[in-house]
A and B are shown apart, each in its own frame.
Chain A
Amino acid sequence: MKTGPALEVKGLSIKFGDFTAVDDVSFSVARGEIFGFLGANGAGKTTAIRTLCGLLVPSSGSALVGGLDFSDGGKSIKKIVGYMSQKFTLYNDLTVGENLDFAAGLRKMEPRYAAKRRRELFELIGFDRPLSTMVASLPGGVKQELALASAMLHDPEIVFLDEPTSGVSPGSRARFWALIHKITGLGKTVIVTTHYMDEAEQCGRIALMRAGRLIALGSPEELKRGAFPGPMTELDFKGAEAGEFISALKKAPGLLEFSPHGMRWHAAFRDQAALSAALAGLPVSASAGLIKPSLEDVFIRLIEGAER
């Protein structure tokens, strides 16, 4: 097992003409970590991932992937990473075996070694159908797991997953994430992008991106503490007329965030005193309870709040 960080990114920028997709981003990822990229569409997550697996060359700044740099245009990086793209999983008109043989052929793997890896990975993902199964006939979740197996066939040190669970059922998502934990248990590093907050909660650390910039970095707990140092309360007006109270609350001193969540509202304050003062005029029929902020609250505060 090699030592040193899996990723070491310093001042990384990626430009397409005048457009800066990734803007001066720095972070480092330890081996065996699950590192998540969170952000809206177009925030630069996919571009960052594509660069780190050798598909794009940085415009400026530096990035070491598994200790390797881009001096050869990403060629050697491609050998030690596995990549699962957002859109494509496997060729539907080929069988499971043909897909995996193709993946092995692209990596010039010895047939015997490829077969051994295939058996190991099938065991890992719990795949027990015949190799002659057409991929088109597999359910979405199984396809996704097989795509992961295909991306890991050459035993990469670092696995990049770009929205791996988009479009699969909640049950399959849970299964897939259990798989991600298994992989890091084997000493692999997993870099993942996602839209789902519950998935982000499972990452060791999260990089929050907005408009190409890294705006927050840390574990889910750290992000929550950073965004909401004070208490957060959930307000339920139970259908009562509360327009006046809400407009007053919005101007209350010490209010950090106030946003609707379904029929309820989340209000975060700088400290306990600000909360008590602001909720003094709460209508009698309404209820307020302290809650722990979720990553969704963090996302709203840091990403959407900045856009307001």
Chain B
Amino acid sequence: MNGFDIHRSAAVARKEVMHIMRDPFTLVLVMGLPVLLVVFFGFAIDFDVKNLKLAVYDRDNSRVSRQLVSVFDSSGYFIPSAVSSPSRAITGLDSDKFSAALLIEPGFGRDVGRGALARAQFVADGTDNSKAMAVLGYLPGISEAALRKFGGVTRSDPVPLKARYMYNAELNSRWFVIPGLAVIIIGLLSILMTALTVAREWENGSMELLLSTPLKPAEIIAGKIAPYVVLILGGVLFVNLVARFGFGVPFRGGIPLFLGGTLLFIVSALSQGIVISVVTRQQQLAMQLSMISGLLPSLLLSGFIFPIESMPVFFRYFTMILSPRWFMEIARGITIRGAGAADLAVPLLALAALSAALLAAAFKKFKRDLEP
């Protein structure tokens, strides 16, 4: 931008700060949303399934079968309760009284003693996919613990595989979720705030007045978004502090790299907000479009909750043009894995390219749409 004047831009930024100070809604939104998200995802939403009601029908009723049940009990994931018939167990699943059932055949204890194939059936409620997957994930651990308890009588596996989870040994889902919150906060707030503030100038006609002065579009854009960059960085800082000290989520990587990635993502989100505001020119519409385009991709298609690898082919490629997807990788990589710039070269470059493209689109759209 030739002839960009920092003083004029600063005048716009100062005015924007005054708008923000006078508007409780903005402040509440920017301060409140991070708090709300942290509380929500930190406390309420826990992907670790615990205290599952387990129906137990033990037809064997031997010492060994009782030991098996006690292993389930002591794992902390299950609360076993005995039922009098297999059909009771199934109706219990039907009525959601139980989440899983354990059916032990007669002769289970004897077979274990002989080292033969012992039979016990585990039935899980598949209605809730992620819950069922989590439950099934516990089984290998439990069967291993049970075998140990039965007294070293192990059916030797031909290839014993032992899994160890790196970076998050306990697979604590908060570690996985909370660093991703920065993505949601920036994604939503940046888009929403800029879309609203620029749309407001169009809506009340002041944009025309601004343009009748020597003020340039670039100066307007820079002045408009600067205060929000600061506000939103504050929100991200808050989430990271809470993650670290409230939930014990580690921050293993470099802070400058994280800041750099964050700024790149903020730029892409703010540019998206400007494009929205120029297209809609109305606060109402801008708000709705921002909510949809800001929240849905970062919530559903960024890998925040649903792994990108398991998406249909179309969506796997589609996520590549969404900046939240790349920043999600960066945020998690830096905080949990302690990844460096070289490790994150691909997502960083992709994010930079997307930000540049969106920023260019914002400028172009903004300039072209000055005429009525």
Interfacial residues, chain A to chain B (CB-CB below 8 A): 16, 47, 50, 53-56, 75, 78-79, 81, 83-88, 91, 93-94, 98, 101-108
Contacts and interface: CB of A to CB of B under 8 A. Distances in A.
SS of A interface (majority):
mixed
B214 interface: yes
A98 B15 CA distance: 8
A87 B22 contact: no
Determine chain B's interface SS by DSSP, over half rule. helix
Contact of A85 (B15, B209, B370, B371): B209
Interface of B: 5, 7-8, 10-12, 14-15, 18-19, 22-23, 204-206, 208-215, 370-372
Contacts of B206: 88, 91
Closest 9 CB pairs of A and B: A105-B11, A87-B205, A88-B205, A83-B212, A106-B213, A88-B206, A93-B22, A102-B15, A85-B208
Contacts of A56: 371
A142 B212 CA distance: 22
Contact of B212 (A16, A85, A87, A98): A85
B10 A106 contact: no
Contact of B19 (A75, A86, A88, A94): A94
Nearest to B212: A83
A106 B215 contact: yes
Contact of A78 (B5, B15, B204, B212): B212
A107 B208 contact: no
Contacts, number: 74
Given A16-B371, A53-B212, A56-B371, 17 more contacts: A50-B208, A54-B212, A55-B208, A55-B370, A78-B213, A78-B214, A79-B214, A85-B208, A88-B208, A91-B15, A91-B206, A93-B22, A93-B23, A94-B22, A101-B11, A102-B14, A106-B12
A55 B8 contact: no
Q: Kindly name the residue among A86, A91, A106 whose own CB sees the greatest number of chain B CB atoms within 10 A.
A: A106
Contacts of A98: 15, 18
B196 to A, nearest CB: 13
A142 B138 CA distance: 74
Contacts of A78: 212-214
B231 to A, nearest CB: 17
Contacts of B213: 78, 103, 106-107
Nearest to B216: A75
B283 to A, nearest CB: 14
A103 B212 CA distance: 11
B371 A102 contact: no
A50 B23 CA distance: 31
A109 B69 CA distance: 82
Nearest to B10: A105
B204 A87 contact: yes
A87 B210 CA distance: 13
A107 B19 contact: no
Contacts of A75: 214
Given A16-B371, A107-B213, A91 B11 contact: no
A47 B214 CA distance: 19
A104 B210 CA distance: 12
A192 B312 CA distance: 62
Given A16-B371, A79-B214, A85-B205, A108 B8 contact: yes
A97 to B, nearest CB: 11
Nearest to A84: B209
Nearest to B370: A55
Nearest to B21: A93
A252 B110 CA distance: 124
A87 B200 CA distance: 13
Nearest to A81: B212
